Amino acid sequence: MASDYSRFVRFQDDVESAKFPTTIGGNRIKLNGTQVDETSGKKAHSTRKTGKFLKARVLSRVFSEDYERVRKRTLLDPRGQTIHRWNKIFLVACLVSLFVDPLFFYLPVVRDEVCIDIGTALEVLIWIVIPNLGGASWYLLSIERQEACWRSVCDMESSYCEYGFFDCKRVEDSLRVSWFMASNVTILCSPKANFFQFGIYGDAVTSQVTTSSFFDKYFFCLWWGLRNLSSLGQGLLTSTFVGEIMFAIVVATFGLVLFALLIGNMQTYLQSTTVRLEEWRVKRSDTEQWMHHRQLPPELRQAVRKYNQYKWVATRGVDEEALLKGLPPDLRRDIKRHLCLELVRRKVSDLEQVPLLDEMEERMVDAICERLKPALCTESTYMVREGDPVNEMLFIIRGHLDSYTTDGGRSGFFNSCRIGPGDFCGEELLTWTLGPRPTLTLPSSSRSVKAVSEVEAFALTAEDLRFVASQFRRLHSKQVRHKFRFYSHQWRTWAACFVQAAWRRYRKRKPNTLTNHSLSVNSFHKPQEPYFSLDD
């Protein structure tokens, strides 16, 4: 700034700048106080203009004294509750105005004395609104056509008549009373008299909607508009009056536009749904051909069909994994947090939280949620079998499963339980991950888990669980381990068998008690203890 005249520029605040004049005769003042002739070049003028702008805009924000005036003002947060509340109030006011403005069309009333009245209290208001609303309503045009009929009768009658007689303010006028007694305007101005062509406004006269109460004429006119817009104005029988024909054209055009918008929206929705449905049908046809080619038994074919149908109902044909992979990491993390974290941490309707994850910190749960993958299972399907390698840990969201074990096929041993929303299975994988010396060999499942209904869960693979365990040492803490043991069905079974074995050893030390109380079931042996040591 001002580089043509000085290498250094001293910025001054408003208090200091008041000491220096801005103009002296035909000269101007630079930021450093030196005078510059007005005949300087265009570049100097631009520099001076920039310097003034900075002094007025930037310098007032540099010095702390200027903030004293700002602190006295009330600043509202654009995202605060106050602005949000006033936005709602403004939206409600706009919606109310949309419904209130057309209500002024119904202010005119036709009285039995052959006059039109708009009310004394709203007379001033209606004359403000009429320029914006005149000729835009069927109700107003009906009244206008009825008044046109009165004027036609008034023009053809030999008795003294003037248009001012149709104002309700002159009902008590002696001239109007004498004219009304001698005139046959009420007979001629009827659609049945065939004296005047009312056209599409004949319904308003015959149904006496112009003389009805406010709600009657409002809903009648609303129905008239909906009926003719939905039928594109096909039921409108117009007369030869040009204004009436133009109004009918406007109604038909608006009806056609609304109908086109409706058809367009429906077509877009149906196309998006039909495309996915057609893709699913093609995929199902390919699956059927493949099963027929491989000669699968009927029970396996039925299981495949059942799973594909359940997957379509759950996902609507959308490949969630492929969709998420195409998004940026930050957006993908937020979506994963919304889909997984809200389901496993909060109690939402019939969903229950997973107690194991409730003990973990937010960053650890975020890392787990980023790696969770949706898993679906149909009825009578095994999630894992006893003795098979466990390659993923499942967090149940919906549905119920039967979990049972025979302790490696030992004779006379059977333990079962029912798990549902909030429970988990495949805990052997967590024990294997948190061990001091984890091996590359995946652990074997100690239980068989079979779905008794359609199940929706989130799966955490062994590789992802090992990554989380290596990144977050809190997963190795005693609190998390104790929480895991408390809700683990494997540890519950081991604890129950351990208590039974200790009780049997105690009873063996008392032979008298054993002779009096013989056991009716086979003795239980202490099962293999889980990997965690008791000193944890």
| DSSP letter assigned to residue 159 | S
Tracing tokens 């061990």 back to the chain, one arrives at 435
The 10s digit of each residue's pLDDT in 248-279 is: 888 788 778 778 877 876 777 777 767 777 77
Residues in contact with 35: Cβ distance below 8 Å, sequence separation at least 6, in sequence order: 24, 27, 28, 29
User: Residue 350 — very low, low, confident or very high, per pLDDT cuts 50/70/90?
Assistant: very low
pLDDT number for residue 4: 46
Least confident residue range of 111-120, 253-262, 467-476, 491-500 = 111-120
φ, ψ at 181 (rounded to 5°): -70, -30
Which pTM value belongs to this model? 0.42
Q: What percent of the chain has pLDDT over 70?
A: 60
Per-residue pLDDT of 91-114, as tens digits, reads 778 777 766 666 666 667 776 666
Q: DSSP for 217-273?
A: HHHHHHHHHHHHHHTTTTT----S-HHHHHHHHHHHHHHHHHHHHHHHHHHHHHHHH
C-alpha distances out from residue 151 to 11, 196, 392, Å = 80, 11, 89
For position 122, what pLDDT does the model report? 54
Task: Write down the pLDDT at residue 321.
Answer: 75
Domain boundary assignment for the chain? 14-71, 97-230, 327-494
Cα-atom radius of gyration of the chain, to the nearest Å?
A: 43
Residue 168 has pLDDT above 70, yes or no: yes
Look at domain 327-494 and name its CATH class: mainly beta
- Mean of pLDDT values over 368-385: 83
**pLDDT reported for residue 101:** 65
User: Can you give the three-state secondary structure of 319-348, one letter per residue?
Assistant: CHHHHHHCCCHHHHHHHHHHHHHHHHHCCC
What tens digit of pLDDT does each residue of 508-524 get?
Answer: 776 655 455 544 444 44
**Residue 277 burial (C-beta neighbours within 10 Å; 0-12, 13-18, 19+):** middle
Most confident of 332-346, 365-379, 402-416: 365-379
- Judged by average pLDDT, the poorest of 26-40, 305-319, 376-390, 446-460 is 26-40
Query: Between 187 and 210, where is the model more confident?
Result: 210
Tokens 């203009």, residue?
49
